[in-house]
């Protein structure tokens, strides 16, 4: 246990002694990071790091680490050693995400094991026994294996979004969870931790996670990201959620982001931003898939193959008279296109009786209409039946019910 090792003594060949203060590890890309250096205070009362290569033996029973020469240690300057993670300073007592139990908790103690002459970080003890053990200096609170969680399934965050950048090859097990679960896990975390997690996740997952967070959280987290990443995420987000987010940024920042986004995405966002938030236009997405009515199924499939690569919402394909007037003619589901004979026309396939919404109608009523319709979305049409977007059931539910579990919980402090 780290709490025990921290009481160890360093002894070198000249019988000089020093007290171990911390253990450092530089590599976070393996499942069980190995300790690379020891921290102690030299005679001048200066923090000094000694590389692991100098360790001769590691005596658990006597509580002693024998090293070559304590003089070989390098003094550690305040914040010079960026690459090193100090177990005691950075991980012990910090917030960690325990993926096995799907919860945010604290690392009350750390479990280290010797492996091929290396000391590896194997697990984190999150139990109350660990607290007792540390307070009693090991007299009480015996180690119980059941209270220790495998380090493989622990995500550790520092609460600084700029501490590490993505692509450092770290093992992030969390990205295997569904995005909704990731968003839920970040809910009890401070926003800086949540932002840090987003910087570490691949952009696609980060964008989807950001979409699911509550609007206040989105804003807090988004503003902590650096601009390049923020732009990448905005590009990947659904335009309706991106518009809500951009609309809440400072006007200057919002303008800068919109200028740097791809023309398509920024046009979509600006288009949506023009509608007041309480109208149908304020909750619709304008990233919908449409095809012309006079196509055959075979043509439609070919066109759709390209179109379906990007948009989020693909349950329904709206059939329009032609791509310039975009007059809504009917709706067809993806499944219908898929199973129909190739020679049939889209017109014959589609359902021409479409319930549609007005862009300036009340958002809340439209939301209930979408939910009660039992459909995945209702189209929004402007003058002359021009298709301009759709209100999805997700957007409707988000408006009708609080977005996340966190925002439903009763507030205690405000």
Positions that interact with another protein (CB under 8 A):
79, 93-95, 103-106, 108, 126, 128, 131, 134-135, 159, 190-193, 216-217, 219-220, 223-224, 244, 247-248, 251, 254-255, 258-259, 263-264, 266-268, 270-271, 273-275, 277, 281, 286, 323-324, 326, 358-360, 382-384, 386, 388, 408-414
Between 36 and 214, name the residue whose CB sits nearer to another protein: 214
Nearest alpha carbon to residue 228 among 142, 277, 162: 162
E strand or H helix that includes residue 195: helix 191-200
Going from the C-alpha of 387 to that of each of 108, 255, 267, 360, 381, the distances in angstroms are 57, 27, 16, 14, 5
Instruction: Decide: 151 and 32 in contact? Cβ < 8 Å.
Output: yes
List the structure tokens of 278. 């309480």
Q: How many CA atoms lie within 13 A of 32 on its CB side?
A: 16
Shortest Å, Cβ 60 to another protein: 23
Q: Tally Cβ neighbours within 10 Å of residue 126.
A: 21
Q: Tally Cβ neighbours within 10 Å of residue 263.
A: 8
Between 25 and 279, name the residue whose CB sits nearer to another protein: 279
Question: Which residues, other chains included, contact 200 with Cβ-Cβ below 8 Å and sequence gap of 6+?
Answer: 164, 166, 170, 172
CA gyration radius, the chain: 28
Instruction: Decide: 144 and 132 in contact? Cβ < 8 Å.
Output: no
Between 65 and 107, name the residue whose CB sits nearer to another protein: 107
Shortest Å, Cβ 153 to another protein: 16
Shortest Å, Cβ 190 to another protein: 4
Tell whether the torsion through CA atoms of 383, 385, 388 and 391 is positive or negative.
positive
Shortest Å, Cβ 136 to another protein: 12
Between 102 and 204, name the residue whose CB sits nearer to another protein: 102
Shortest Å, Cβ 367 to another protein: 17
Question: Which residues, other chains included, contact 315 with Cβ-Cβ below 8 Å and sequence gap of 6+?
Answer: 333, 334, 376, 377
List the structure tokens of 377. 């979305």
Shortest Å, Cβ 12 to another protein: 28
Between 341 and 384, name the residue whose CB sits nearer to another protein: 384
Between 52 and 318, name the residue whose CB sits nearer to another protein: 318
Between 114 and 262, name the residue whose CB sits nearer to another protein: 262
């Amino acid at each position: 246990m780290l709490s025990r090792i921290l009481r160890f003594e360093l002894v070198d060949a000249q019988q000089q002694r020093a007290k171990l203060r911390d253990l450092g590890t530089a590599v976070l890309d393996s499942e069980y990071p190995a300790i690379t250096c020891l921290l102690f205070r030299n005679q001048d009362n200066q923090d000094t790091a000694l590389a692991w290569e100098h360790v001769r033996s590691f005596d658990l029973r006597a509580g002693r680490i024998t090293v070559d020469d304590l003089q070989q240690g390098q003094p550690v300057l305040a914040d010079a050693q960026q690459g090193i993670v100090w177990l005691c300073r950075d991980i012990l007592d910090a917030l960690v995400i325990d993926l096995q139990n799907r919860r945010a908790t604290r690392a009350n103690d750390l479990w280290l094991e010797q492996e091929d002459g290396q000391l590896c970080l194997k697990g984190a003890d999150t139990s109350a026994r660990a607290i007792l053990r540390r307070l009693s200096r090991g007299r009480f609170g015996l180690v119980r294996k059941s209270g220790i969680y495998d380090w493989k399934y622990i995500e550790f965050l520092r609460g600084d979004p700029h501490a590490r950048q993505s692509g450092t090859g770290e093992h992030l097990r969390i990205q295997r969870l569904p995005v909704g679960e990731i968003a839920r896990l970040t809910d009890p975390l401070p926003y800086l931790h949540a932002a840090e997690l987003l910087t570490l996740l691949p952009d696609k997952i980060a964008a989807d996670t950001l979409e699911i967070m509550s609007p206040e959280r989105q804003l807090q987290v988004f503003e902590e990201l650096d601009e390049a990443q923020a732009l990448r995420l905005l590009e990947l987000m659904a335009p309706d959620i991106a518009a809500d987010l951009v609309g809440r940024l400072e006007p200057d920042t919002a303008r800068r982001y919109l200028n740097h986004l791809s023309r398509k995405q920024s046009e979509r966002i600006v288009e949506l931003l023009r509608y007041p938030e309480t109208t149908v236009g304020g909750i619709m997405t304008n990233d919908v898939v449409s095809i012309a009515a006079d196509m055959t199924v075979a043509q439609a499939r070919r066109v759709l193959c390209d179109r379906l690569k990007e948009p989020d919402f693909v349950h329904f394909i709206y059939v329009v008279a032609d791509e310039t007037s975009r007059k809504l003619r009917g709706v067809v589901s993806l499944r219908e296109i898929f199973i129909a004979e190739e020679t049939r026309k889209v017109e014959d396939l589609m359902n021409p009786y479409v319930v549609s919404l007005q862009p300036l109608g009340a958002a809340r009523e439209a939301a209930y209409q979408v939910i009660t319709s039992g459909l995945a979305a209702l189209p929004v049409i402007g003058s002359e039946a021009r298709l301009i977007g759709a209100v999805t059931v997700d957007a409707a539910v988000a408006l009708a019910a609080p977005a996340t579990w966190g925002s439903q919980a009763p507030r205690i402090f405000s």
